[in-house]
Structure 1
Amino acid sequence: MEFPTIHTNFWDAVIAVPFVMIITQISKKLLNIPKKYVPTLAILIGLLVSVFYSHRHDLAAGLFMGWFYGSAAIGSYASLKTTIVEYRKTSE
């Protein structure tokens, strides 16, 4: 069995990950999702975006990149939140 060829492009880095992060945050606010389920929600949104939009013709690539989109959104949010919290502490 041969592994699928997966190309990371502009869509992946600049549009898909922020899109997943924004939709996750909107869902969190509108649906009152407990904090412990937000990472799972991000992964699910990433998988949906990837399988049904980005990589709709290759399920293996869609699943792999969807996991990447969700995980990158989780990491980006955590990094941004940590940076803001520490900046607020030092600027007081």
Structure 2
Amino acid sequence: MDFPTIHTNFWDAVIAVPAVMIITQLIKLFLKVPRKFVPTIALVLGLIISVFISHRHSLVAGIFMGWFYGYAAIGSYASLKTSILAYRNGDKT
């Protein structure tokens, strides 16, 4: 089995990950999803966007990059939330 060639482009870095973050937050807001399921929702959204939109030519590439979309969105949200809370609390670390 050959590994697929995966090209990371503008779509991956600037549009897909923020799109996953925004859609996840909208789902969380409107559907009142329990907090413990939010990372799973982000991962599933990343997989759906990657497999059906950005890498529809290759299922393996879609799953591989979808995993990154989901986890990049989860990590970006966690980092942003931690930074905002630290700023509000006046932490100087």
Normalized against structure 1, the TM-score is what?
A: 0.97
Deviation at 1:57, TM superposition (A): 1.1
- Aligned structure 1 segments of 4 or more residues deviating by more than 6 angstroms: none
Q: Find out whether 1:34 has 2:24 as its counterpart.
A: no
Identity percentage over the alignment? 70
2:54, 2:31 → 1: CA distance? 26
Once the two structures are TM-superposed, the CA of residue 11 in structure 1 deviates from its matched residue by 0.4
SS in structure 1 at match of 2:56: coil
How many residues matched?
Answer: 91
Higher alpha-carbon deviation: 79-88 or 1-10? 1-10
**Aligned Cα RMSD in Å?**
0.9
In structure 1, C-alpha distance between the alignment counterparts of 2:31 and 2:72, rounded to whole Å: 22
| Aligned counterpart, 2:43 | 43
| TM score, norm. by length of structure 2 | 0.96
Q: Does 1:21 align with 2:21?
A: yes
Structure 1 segments unaligned to the other structure (5+ residues)? none
Corresponding residue for residue 84 of structure 2: 84
Offset at residue 55 of structure 1 (A): 0.5
Match of residue 12 from structure 1: 12
For structure 2, which runs of at least 5 residues remain unmatched after alignment?
none
Q: How far apart are residue 70 of structure 1 and its match? A: 0.3
